[in-house]
Structure 1
Amino acid sequence: MRTEGAYGGDGHGAGSRGDDAHDLRHHGDAEVRDDGSALTDLAVNVRADTPPAWLREHVAASLDGLAAYPDGRAARAAVAARHGVPVERVLLTAGAAEAFVLLARALKVRQPVVVHPQFTEPEAALRDAGHTVDRVLLRASDGFQLDPSAVPEDADLVVIGNPTNPTSVLHPAASIAALARPGRTLVVDEAFMDAVPGEREALAGRTDIPGLVVLRSLTKTWGLAGLRIGYVLAAPDTVRELSRAQPLWPVSTPALAAAEACVSPRALAEAAHAARKVASDRAHLVAGLREFEPDGLRVVEPAEGPFVLIRLPRAVVVRRQLRGLGFAVRRGDTFPGLGDDWLRLAVRDRATVNGFLQALDRAVVVAGR
C-alpha cells in the first residue's frame, strides 16, 4: 500500500511520501560535538579505541607521498580481491556518504524508494538532487522486518540498509534479493556488515542479482570517520556512471592507504574478532536493558549490529538526564518511522555498559517522577 503524506512516529504504516517532518541531516556526532569530551559516547556507531596503532602507523607512512596525486589502483585491486570480483566492479569513495550523493546525481531515477527506518543520508541526497522520494516504513510491531511486497513495483531505485541503522535488524539476503527487478537499481547499505560475525546475509560480492549496488564503509569498524573511505560494488556500467560524477582524485592518498590495509588478511581477521566481541558485548547490554522492562522499556530484537534500538516512555527526559550523568545517546525521532520515544545505543565494552546501566536506572527514576 502506498499513501501520500507523512506518518506519525510510531513506526506504523506501509509507505509515505518523503516530507520535511524529520531532520534528515542530524547524525550521532551532533550528540557529542560541543561537549563530547565530558561525555561517554554511546551515540556514534564507530568502534571504540580505534583506529588501532598498526593502522595509524600505516596511514602516517603514506604522508611521505602527499606530493604526488592519489593513485587508487592498488586499493581498488585489494578491495576487488577481498570480495572476489573484477576490479571493474569496484568504485572507491570518500566514505559511504559520498556514494549516496553519486547515486542520487548520476543515475536516471524516476521513482526512488527508501526503506525506513534507516540511515537518513540516502533520502537527503536524493531530495537534494531534486527527486521526490517515497518511503516504505517498516513496522515496530513486526520487529522492523522487511516485507518485499511492501515495496512498490514501479520503484526504479530502492535503498535499504543491512544490518539496518538504527534498528539493528539483519534482513535475510534472500528477502533483499527478492527486491531486484529488471530496470531497478537495488542499493544495499552494508556499512555495518563487517560487525556481523561471519557477515551473515551479506550481498557484497554477488554478481548474479540484477541492478545490485552494495555500499561498504571502512569508517565504522576501523575508526576512520575523519578520514572518509568507503567503496561501491556494482556492475561495471554502474561503476562507470558513478565515477563520471566524481571529481578528479576523490579519495586522498592516506584514505587509499587505509583502504588497502583494511581489506588485508590481517585486518579481516581482526575485524572478525571484533565482530565476535561486539556480539558478546551487545548481549550483555541487551540483558541489562531487559531489567527495565517493568519501566516500559523495550529493545528491538534480535539486534545484530553494533548498536541497539530501544523504546521507552519519556525518552526525551531520560536522554537529557543521561547527558547530565555523563552519557550521550542517539535520539531516534530524526529517523522516519520513529518518534521521540526511541533511542539508539552504541555497543561498548562491559565496564562502560555497566556504568551506563547504572546511569539509566537513575535517569528512569527521575523521568518517572
Structure 2
Amino acid sequence: MRHHGDVEAERGLVDFAVNVRLDRPPEWLRGRLAGALDQLGHYPSAADDLAARSAAATRHGRSPDEVLVLAGAAEGFALLPALKPRLAALVHPSFTEPELALRDAGVPVERVQLDDYRLDPSAIPEAADLVVLGNPTNPTSVLHPAAGIRELLRPGRVVVVDEAFADTVPGERESLAGCAEPGLLVLRSLTKMWGLPGLRAGYALGDAELLAELSRLRPHWPVNALVLEAVRACCEPAAVAESERAAEEFAAHRQDLLDRLADLPEVSVAEPAEGPFLLLRVPGGERVRHELRARGVAVRRGDTFPGLGPDHLRVAVRSPEQNSLLVKAFRDVLECG
C-alpha cells in the first residue's frame, strides 16, 4: 500500500503514472514563490497564516477559522488519528495513505469495497465514527454525487472527503468545499493542478472546532512561508479562472484518450470517468506494464489499491499527442503478446 506513481516515473520515461498537470509551476507562480524567499529569514507569523487562510476561505465562501493550511493534503491524512475515532470506514478502491495513517495509530479500520466503484451510503457501517472517501476517487476516476456524501453525515461522525483532484473537474461539480456542515472535513491539494509536488501545499476545510481537534498535536510553524504564499496565490481569482480552463482541457483530453482506447478491444476502462486519469483493466496487466516500460512509457500499477489486481493499470490524461503515443505503445505490446 505504500506505493505511489512517482516510483514508476523514472527520468527518461514518458510519464503516464503521475497525476500532476505541469512538470513545474507556471511562471507567474514561480515569481510569487521567488518573491517570498526573503520571508524565509523569519518564522511564519499569525498574520501570514491568517492571510493564507483568508484567501482559501474567500475562494470557497467560508470564514478563515474554517481553514487549516497543510503541508499537502497528505498531512491531513496523517493528522486523522488525532480525532480519536473508534472505528474508521475507508471507502475503496481509493488512495491508501488515510488507511495507513489510521492503522499505524492503532485505529480499527473497516474497508468498504465498492464493486462498481460508485458510492452506496447504505454500505457504510453504522458504527463508523470516521468515514474517508475520495471525490473524484483515485484511481477509479469516479465522481460521487455530493448528495450521497451528505447522506453519510450524522451526529458524532466525521466524514473526510479527499478532494485532491476536485479542481480538475469543470465547475468543481459535486465538491463540498463550500459546505459548512458539522462533521464534514474536506481536504484540498495544490499539487496536481499547479505542479507543486516538491513543495507539499494544501488545506483542510471544516468547522473551527473540528479543525482545532485535528491540529492539536501539530508542532509550531507546521507549514513554511512558501506554502503560505502558494495557498494565497493559487486561491486568487485569476488562478481559479486558470484552473477552470485547465479543467475544461482535462475533460477534452480525457475524451480524446477514451476515444483512442476504444480501438483496443482488449482494454476496458472504468466509466464514467471524471478525473485527470483513467483506470484500465488489461489482460496480463503486469506483463503489459513492464513491456510498456521497456518501450519508454510509465503507467501506474493498480494492484496496490485495495480491491484491484495486477490487470488494473492507471494512466494519466495527457495531451492528444501524448495520448496517441500511449495508445500506440499499448497496441504494440498487445499485438506482440
TM-score by length of 1: 0.89
- Report the CA distance between 1:264 and its aligned residue: 0.4
Tell me, in whole angstroms, the C-alpha distance in 1 between the residues paired with 2:112 and 2:264: 31
Which digits, 9 at most, give the CA deviation of each residue in 1:126-147, with x for residues without a partner?
Answer: 01111121100000xx3x1111
Candidates 63, 66, 70, aligned match of 2:37: 63
1:169-203 CA deviation, whole Å, 9 max, x = no partner?
00000011111111100000001000000000010
Matched, 1:314 2:266: no
Match of 1:54 in 2: 28
Using the TM superposition, name which of 71-80 and 191-200 deviates more. 71-80
Cα distance in 2, alignment partners of residues 254 and 187 from structure 1: 26
Give the aligned partner of residue 129 of structure 2. Answer: 156
Where 2:298 maps in the other structure, the secondary structure is strand
Match of 1:123 among 75, 99, 112: 99
Q: Which of 27, 36, 45 pairs up with 2:19?
A: 45
Q: Which residue of 1 aligns with 2:88?
A: 112
Give the deviation of 1:266 after TM superposition: 0.6
CA distance in 2, matches of 1:50, 1:288: 28
Residue 223 of structure 2 corresponds to residue 251 of structure 1: yes
Preserved contact between residue 80 and residue 90 of structure 1 (Cα < 8 Å): yes
SS at match of 1:26: coil
Supply the distance in 2 between the matched residues of 1:250 and 1:41 (Cα, whole angstroms): 32
Q: Which residue of 2 aligns with 1:18?
A: none
Equivalent residue letter for 1:259? V
Identify the range of structure 1 (158-167 vs 352-361) with the bigger mean alpha-carbon deviation. Answer: 352-361
Show the 5 A alignment for 1:1-369.
24-32=1-9, 36-71=10-45, 72-104=49-81, 106-139=82-115, 142=116, 144-207=117-180, 209-293=181-265, 295=266, 297-366=267-336, 368=337
Q: CA deviation at 1:344?
A: 0.3
Shift of 1:364: 1.2
Aligned mates of 1:170, 1:256 — CA distance in 2: 29
Q: What is the Cα deviation at residue 247 of structure 1?
A: 1.2
Mark the CA change 1:25 to 1:165 in structure 2 (over 3 Å): closer, same or farther: same
In 2, the alpha carbon distance for the partners of 1:132 and 1:155 equals: 10
Quote how far apart the aligned CAs of 1:49 are: 4.1
Structure 2 gaps of 5+ residues are none
CA distance in 1, matches of 2:128, 2:11: 44
Please state whether the residue corresponding to 2:204 is helix, strand or coil: strand
Q: Percent identity of the aligned residues?
A: 57
Instruction: For 1:66 and 1:227, locate their aligned partners in 2 and report how far apart those are by CA, in whole Å.
Output: 14
Structure 1 segments, 4+ long, off by >4 Å, are none
Deviation per residue, 1:213-243 (Å, 9 max, x gap): 0000011100111001110001111111122
Instruction: Provide the aligned C-alpha RMSD in A.
Output: 0.9
> Any stretches of 5+ residues in structure 1 without a counterpart?
1-23
TM-score normalised by length of structure 2: 0.97
- 8 Å Cα contact 1:91-1:233 kept in structure 2: yes
Aligned residues: 334
CA distance in 1 between partners of 2:246 and 2:3 (Å): 27
Letter in 2 for 1:245: L
1:66 aligns to what SS in structure 2? helix
Return the alpha-carbon distance in structure 2 between the equivalents of residues 220 and 70 of structure 1: 25
1:132 counterpart letter in structure 2: P
Tell me which amino acid in the other structure corresponds to 1:256: L
